[in-house]
């Protein structure tokens, strides 16, 4: 029976591997409250009014092109119908997802959107990803073809960047903090404890992993990027485009503006605070130039013992490709090195899969190699020749034929003896995998494989040309990424909260139907004065509809009083009054 997804799908989403689809959730549009809609409307009106002056030209044009309006939170289904025209799609997820998974969605040209929306208390900025940030920040800019290709390529390379345990610990800590901050009624002690854990991890002096460097590049471009001249840049980063406060703050001279370069990969950031410096790229094509330069530093393109060591330290599924084209995917657990720090033998632990050109070899999936895999690497002793480079004469001399007994030693000292059962060759006709029965593999006094272990599958190759996170064939590990156990906290609403939501809804309907009267509006504002005297956004929406000058003046006075009592929202109220005037 075919599994029916609980979300709207399309051709691009259908192509996603199973290990990414686990993160997709339905948008549940009906759960957006009237307050949520009012928050969206305020932020979008304020942003478009201001950003039309300071954002890259692609932004305002892209809003219309991606189906994002001012008056209401966009539906994922509606966005996807329009995004399809520019070759992209969007899916809803629950907050932060693992870094490699986030990057991989981008590689498939799928925009990941956290469908929750910030609370009114966090209207200026939230550390949690939300639909304001994702839909109103990211989506419009991808209508620009050069930027869209950069985003896709960043995802393609970033998905293969190798993580460290510290990366995953930080991801979980930031996810927990963002969820607690956005959950109404969370104990302040719990938030402080979560924030302290994020600070502790951020302050640790650890070597930046490949993913940490990639995440830095993503942050200083996709999230907080500026474009144009260093002296007078425009905004294109989603974090700035979706933050009322930071989109203004970033233009101050207090924020350093630096020319964008590969050095940004080493510049860490604090997601909970305004950024002290930002990077300016001259144009979107230059982003790709820097990305390619950075990609050349990754294990993905360099391979070698360092790449394998990084995979071992990550303790996550990763892949090495050896020079015959054979790809081995699994959790690498151990490596033997020679005096030149070259890999001479490597081990995986648990399910392992073999592939060639990203397609799993028949009979060599994770179920077959369920207990791990190990193999030597290098050239044979005395003849200084790799098995894959042997011609017919050499192969015959060393019995590399089916049903022949093999006995050979590598330059490293690794010895292999066994009955050659069969071999698999690549498209150039070179051996890349052989199977041996009754096989013994030794290195000095250590026995690496015994006949009683079963058939010995030996990878043929002399060097590792690539090492990267993830699996060569996506279908080999359907549960490649583990979803976080920390879930978004659902709000429990009081009677007062439900009533104020009803009043937001009523004001919205009055505005949409153009039926508002001061008498009806006054009933609502009187209730607010008695029960929710600091409900400034509702009063602002009422002010927008008020007709009599005396009533407008009364509302203005009330709003300014609220502003004077709370410095955090003073600017929001004052600018809101100007916006509806």
The string of DSSP codes covering 487-546 is: -PPPPPPPHHHHHHHHHHHHHHHHHHHT---HHHHHHHHHHHHHH-TT-HHHHHHHHHH-
For 353-403, the pLDDT digits (tens) are 999 999 999 999 999 999 999 999 999 998 878 899 888 888 888 888 788
- Reported residue count of the chain is 581
C-beta of residue 417 within 8 angstroms of C-beta of residue 451 = no
Report the run of H or E that residue 263 belongs to, with start and end: none
Task: List helix spans (H) across 219-303.
Answer: 238-241, 244-249, 284-295, 299-302
Task: Show the CA angle centred on residue 563, arms to residues 559 and 490, nearest 5°.
Answer: 90
pLDDT band at 486 (very low <50, low <70, confident <90, very high): low
CA distance 249 to 514: 36
Average pLDDT (286-302) is 97
What is the per-residue pLDDT for 149? 96
User: What DSSP designation does 310 have?
Assistant: H
Q: Which residue has the higher pLDDT, 34 or 204?
A: 34
Taking the mean position of all CA atoms in its chain, how far away is CA 522?
Answer: 47
C-alpha–C-alpha distance, residues 253 and 260, integer Å:
17
Can you say how many angstroms the Cα of residue 402 is from the centroid of all Cα atoms in its chain? 47
Tell me what the mean pLDDT of segment 479-501 comes to. 74
108: enclosing H helix or E strand: none
What does the mean pLDDT of the chain come to? 90
Tell me what pLDDT residue 76 has.
Answer: 86
Token pair for 242: 């979706």
CA atoms within 13 A on the CB side of 186: 20
- Predicted TM-score of the model (pTM): 0.87
Q: What percent of the chain has a predicted confidence (pLDDT) above 70? A: 95
**Nearest alpha carbon to residue 242 among 155, 140, 151, 145:** 140
pLDDT number for residue 4: 47
Burial label, 201 (beta-carbon count in 10 A; 0-12, 13-18, 19+): middle
The packing angle between helices 210-218 and 165-182, to 10°, is: 40
234 - beta bridge partners?
227
Residues facing residue 140 across a β-bridge: none
- Using one digit for the tens of pLDDT, what is the confidence trace for 223-233? 999 999 999 99
Calpha distance 158→300 (Å, rounded): 10
Contact 157, 298 (CB under 8 A): yes
Burial 110-131 (b: 16+ CB within 10 A, else e): bbbbbbbbbbbebbbbbbbbbb
The b/e string for 419-438 (b: 16+ C-beta within 10 A; e otherwise) is: bbbebbebeeebbbbbbbee
Long-range contact list for 68-72, CB < 8 A, 24+ apart?
A: 68/135, 68/136, 68/139, 68/140, 69/44, 70/41, 70/44, 70/45, 71/41, 72/37, 72/40, 72/41
Q: Which two tokens stand for residue 359?
A: 């397609």
Neighbours of 223 (CB within 10 A): 20
Among candidate residues 458, 337, 354, the one with its CA nearest the CA of residue 408:
458
Each residue of 314-323: pLDDT tens digit? Answer: 999 999 999 9
Phi, psi dihedral angles at 227 (to 5 degrees): -140, 145
Which pLDDT score, from 0 to 100, does residue 1 have? 36
Listed range (12-21, 210-219, 357-366, 491-500) with the worst mean pLDDT: 491-500
Q: Return the biggest CA–CA distance within the chain.
A: 103
pLDDT: which is higher, 299 or 206: 299
Helix (H) or strand (E) holding 235: strand 233-235
C-alpha 293/C-alpha 8 separation (Å) is: 38
């Amino acid at each position: 029976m075919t599994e029916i997804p609980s979300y709207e799908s399309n051709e691009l989403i259908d192509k996603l591997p199973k290990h990414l689809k686990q993160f997709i959730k339905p948008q549940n549009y009906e759960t957006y409250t009237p307050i949520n809609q009012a928050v969206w409307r305020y932020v979008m009106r304020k942003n478009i009014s201001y950003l039309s002056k300071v954002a890259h030209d692609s932004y305002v044009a892209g809003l219309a092109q991606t189906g994002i309006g001012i008056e209401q939170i966009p539906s994922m289904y509606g966005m996807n119908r329009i995004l399809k025209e520019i070759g992209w799609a969007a899916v809803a997820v629950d907050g932060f997802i693992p870094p490699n998974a986030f990057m991989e969605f981008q590689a498939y040209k799928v925009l990941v959107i956290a469908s929750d929306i910030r609370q009114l208390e966090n209207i200026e900025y939230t550390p949690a990803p939300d639909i304001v940030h994702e839909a109103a920040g990211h989506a419009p800019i991808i209508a620009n073809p050069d930027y869209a290709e950069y985003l896709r390529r960043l995802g393609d390379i970033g998905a293969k960047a190798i993580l460290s345990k510290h990366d995953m610990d930080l991801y979980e800590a930031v996810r927990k903090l963002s969820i607690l901050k956005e959950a109404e009624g969370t104990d302040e002690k719990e938030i402080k404890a979560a924030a302290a854990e994020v600070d502790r991890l951020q302050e640790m002096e650890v070597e930046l992993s490949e993913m940490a460097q990639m995440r830095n590049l993503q942050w200083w471009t996709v999230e907080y990027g500026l474009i144009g001249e260093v002296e007078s840049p425009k905004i294109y980063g989603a974090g700035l485009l979706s933050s009322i406060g930071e989109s203004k703050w970033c233009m101050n001279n207090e924020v350093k503006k630096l020319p964008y370069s590969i050095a940004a990969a080493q510049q860490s950031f604090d997601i909970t605070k305004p950024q002290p410096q930002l990077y300016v790229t001259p144009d979107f094509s230059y982003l790709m130039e820097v990305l390619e330069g950075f990609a050349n530093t990754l294990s993905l393109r360099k391979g070698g013992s360092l790449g394998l060591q990084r995979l071992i330290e990550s303790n996550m599924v990763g892949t090495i490709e050896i020079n015959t084209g054979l790809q081995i995917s699994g959790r690498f657990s151990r490596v033997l090195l020679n005096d030149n720090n070259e890999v001479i033998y490597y081990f995986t632990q648990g399910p392992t899969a073999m592939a060639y050109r990203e397609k799993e070899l028949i009979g060599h999936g994770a179920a077959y190699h369920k207990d791990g895999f190990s193999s030597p690497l290098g050239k044979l002793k005395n003849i200084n020749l790799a098995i894959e480079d042997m011609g017919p004469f050499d192969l015959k001399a060393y019995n590399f034929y089916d049903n022949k007994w093999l006995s050979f030693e590598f330059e490293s000292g690794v010895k292999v003896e066994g009955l050659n059962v069969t071999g698999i060759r690549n498209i150039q006709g070179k051996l890349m995998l052989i199977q041996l029965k009754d096989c013994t593999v030794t290195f000095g006094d250590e026995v690496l494989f015994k006949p009683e272990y079963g058939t010995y599958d030996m990878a043929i190759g002399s060097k590792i040309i690539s090492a990267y996170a993830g699996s060569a064939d996506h279908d080999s590990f359907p549960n490649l990424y583990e979803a976080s156990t920390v879930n978004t906290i659902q709000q429990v609403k009081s009677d007062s909260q439900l009533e104020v939501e009803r009043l937001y809804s009523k004001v919205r309907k009055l505005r949409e139907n153009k039926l508002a009267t001061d008498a009806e509006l006054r009933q609502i504002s009187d209730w607010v004065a008695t029960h929710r005297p600091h409900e400034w956004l509702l009063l602002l929406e009422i002010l927008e509809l008020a007709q009599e000058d005396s009533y407008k003046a009364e509302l203005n006075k009330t709003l300014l009083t609220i502003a004077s009592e709370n410095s955090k929202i003073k600017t929001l109220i004052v600018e809101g009054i100007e916006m509806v005037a």
